[in-house]
């Protein structure tokens, strides 16, 4: 079913499936992905989550994030959701950063095994208003400074990603119950390396 997501163990092996909202109510560990899209200038594309979102409404975050459906490959799911949320499709790839985090958001719990992906795009997105209500390109330097000064304006998982999988990043995210970096193939540096 379209609203079912993949339950996993701490090694990202599938252990079952569950209805998305019920999984978040129970705080069950599930597979997720976060996409970072860069332009030629090395800036990353942010979206502001729509006010109608079930958690973290109105917060700035990475270009797109979601969950693969049961039986759906991670990259296919990511490219599908990028089109559904941001109105464009580009190839995405894993960057070698995977982490587990757990945090209460309103009456729900995000407990995700998150795969970080990246891609390249130089146009303007066409937002799905049910998903996002604003977008902007931002440099890593400006983004880090704003997250440091205004962390309440950003989603917790995005703060962890920008912290490059560091222990310090986990210590700074308010209300974080659990944070474990499972893979860290390279640091995230928006300024230097483009896909």
| Active-site option among 56, 65, 85, 98 | 65
Q: So what's the architecture of 4-184 in CATH?
A: Alpha-Beta Complex (3.90)
Q: What is the pLDDT of residues 44-65, one digit of tens each?
A: 999 999 999 888 899 999 999 9
Are the C-beta atoms of residues 116 and 95 closer than 8 Å to each other? Answer: yes
Degrees, nearest 5: CA angle 48-174-36: 40
DSSP codes of every residue in 51-75: TTSSSSTT-EE-SEEE-PPTT--HH
Separation of alpha carbons 171 and 176, rounded Å: 8
101: left (phi over 0), alpha (psi -120 to 50) or beta: beta
* Digit-coded pLDDT (tens) for 148-182: 899 999 999 999 888 765 556 666 777 888 888 87
| Whether residue 118 lies in the annotated active site | no
Q: Supply the pLDDT for residue 44.
A: 95
Judge whether 90 and 37 are in contact, CB under 8 Å: yes
Share of the chain above pLDDT 70, in %: 89
Distance CA 95, CA 13 (A): 19
Dihedral sign for Cα atoms in the order 49, 55, 56, 61: negative
pLDDT of residue 183: 76
Instruction: Clarify whether 56 is annotated catalytic.
Output: no
CB-based contact 156:176 (threshold 8 Å): yes
How confident is the model at residue 188, as a pLDDT?
43
- pLDDT at residue 189, as a whole number: 39
Domain extent listing, the chain: 4-184
pLDDT in tens, 107-118: 899 999 999 999
Return phi, psi of residue 188, to 5°. -85, 120
Tell whether the model's pLDDT for residue 186 goes beyond 50.
no
Average pLDDT over residues 20-41: 96
Q: Which of 79, 85, 98, 112 is catalytic?
A: 112
């Amino acid at each position: 079913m379209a609203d079912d997501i993949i339950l996993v163990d701490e090694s990202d092996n599938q252990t079952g499936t569950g209805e998305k909202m019920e999984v978040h109510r129970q705080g069950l560990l599930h597979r997720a992905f976060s996409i970072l899209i860069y332009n030629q200038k090395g800036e990353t594309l942010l979206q502001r989550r729509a006010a109608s979102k079930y958690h973290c409404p109105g917060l700035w975050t990475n270009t797109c994030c979601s969950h693969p459906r049961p039986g759906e490959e991670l990259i296919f799911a990511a490219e599908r959701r990028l089109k559904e949320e941001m109105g464009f499709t580009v190839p995405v790839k894993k960057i070698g950063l995977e982490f587990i985090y757990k945090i209460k958001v309103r009456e729900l719990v995000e407990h995700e095994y998150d795969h970080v992906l990246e891609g390249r795009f130089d146009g303007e997105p066409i937002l799905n208003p049910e998903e996002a209500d604003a977008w902007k390109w931002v440099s890593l330097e400006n983004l880090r400074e704003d997250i440091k000064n205004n962390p309440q304006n950003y989603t917790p998982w995005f703060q962890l990603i920008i912290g490059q999988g560091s222990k310090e990043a986990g210590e700074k995210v308010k209300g974080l119950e659990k944070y474990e970096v499972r893979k860290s193939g390279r640091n995230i540096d928006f300024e230097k390396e483009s896909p």
